[in-house]
């Protein structure tokens, strides 16, 4: 009678032949599963919108079971919040400390612009944020408050310090929005620029030159406002009287 073959040792094959236990997924695969959910959700949310995308679609696209979203993010809102905040978190980390008082205006703005000019945001994430800008959801509104709000206040403080005014000055607020718009365009509209001017960004050093020009323009605008406020108020002109006129 032939003896039964012994089970294959796991140490030789690296394959787990033991029955799978339900519960928490293996620790080494949790990060991968989370990233697959984020990538699939970013694509589907950008294409279809939040309301039109089901959790089942996302899990299927990610190749995971239907309970994966609940396990990793709690619910659909939690997943959406994570998708929206991921690029903002990456951009915030890059420009962390840009408003430090020991930095010059140019050094601070160089850090600030880096968040927009680097390759930190995927095309799907850009499409999703563009959709949210025109059709903002409650989740997006809170994300703006949590992530963009602190950066906006820090930028206002930096500009105000170098202009010599208060951070809530109307001019400071407008200048801040203007600088963000100039830099953000190279993040949000880069594909559009390549369609209109194919060679504009083809040079590997193009973004470095663009950053330098943005910094030059920003310094000029800040200095203009500083000098304008430093000038003494103009004295009112005295009315001249024509010869022979009655006084």
pLDDT at 93: 86
Structure confidence by residue, pLDDT tens digits, 111-121: 999 888 877 77
Mean pLDDT over residues 102-129, rounded? 88
Long-range Cβ contacts of 131-135 (<8 Å, 24+ apart):
131/45, 131/46, 131/49, 132/84, 135/49
219-239 residue pLDDT tens? 999 999 999 988 777 677 776
Backbone CA torsion sign across 183, 188, 191, 195 = negative
pLDDT tens figures, 51-96: 899 999 999 999 999 899 999 999 999 999 999 998 888 888 888 8
Q: In the numeric block, which tokens belong to residue 243?
A: 């010869």
Distance CA 53, CA 47 (A): 9
**What is the set of domains in the chain, with CATH numbers?**
84-230 (1.10.357.10)
pLDDT of residue 142: 86
pLDDT at 143: 87
Give the distance, in angstroms, between the CA of residue 76 and the centroid of all CA atoms in the same chain.
21
Candidates 101, 124, 100, 98; CA nearest to 112 is: 98
Q: State the pTM of this model.
A: 0.74
What confidence category does residue 242 fall into, taking pLDDT thresholds of 50, 70 and 90? low
C-alpha to C-alpha distance for 23 and 28, rounded to whole angstroms = 14
Q: What is the pLDDT of residue 76?
A: 95
pLDDT at 167 over 90: yes
DSSP codes, 141-192: HHHIIIIIHHHHHHHHHHHHHHHTS-TT-HHHHHHHHHHHHHHHHHHHSHHH
Mean pLDDT over the full length of the chain: 84
pLDDT at 28: 43
CB 133 within 8 A of CB 188: no
Tell me what pLDDT residue 8 has.
41
């Amino acid at each position: 009678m032939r003896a039964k073959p012994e089970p294959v040792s796991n140490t030789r094959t690296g394959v787990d032949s033991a029955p799978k236990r339900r519960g928490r997924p293996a620790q080494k695969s949790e990060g991968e599963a989370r990233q697959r959910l984020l990538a699939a959700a970013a694509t589907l949310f950008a294409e279809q919108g939040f309301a039109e995308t089901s959790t089942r679609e996302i899990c299927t696209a990610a190749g995971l079971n239907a309970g994966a979203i609940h396990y990793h993010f709690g619910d659909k809102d939690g997943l959406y919040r994570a998708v929206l905040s991921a690029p903002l978190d990456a951009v915030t980390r890059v420009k962390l400390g840009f408003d430090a008082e020991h930095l010059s205006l140019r050094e601070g703005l160089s850090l600030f612009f880096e968040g927009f000019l680097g390759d930190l945001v995927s095309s799907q994430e850009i499409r999703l944020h563009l959709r949210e800008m025109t059709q903002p959801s409650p989740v997006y509104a809170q994300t703006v408050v949590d992530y963009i709000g602190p950066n906006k206040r820090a930028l206002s403080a930096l500009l105000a310090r170098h202009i010599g005014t208060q951070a809530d000055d109307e001019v400071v607020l407008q200048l801040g929005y203007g600088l963000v718009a100039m830099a953000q365009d190279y993040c949000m509209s880069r594909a559009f620029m390549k369609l209109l001017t194919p060679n504009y960004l083809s040079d590997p050093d193009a973004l470095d030159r663009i950053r330098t020009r943005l910094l030059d323009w920003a310094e000029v605008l800040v200095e203009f406002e500083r000098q304008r406020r430093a000038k003494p108020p103009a004295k009112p002109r005295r009315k001249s009287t024509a010869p022979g006129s009655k006084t």
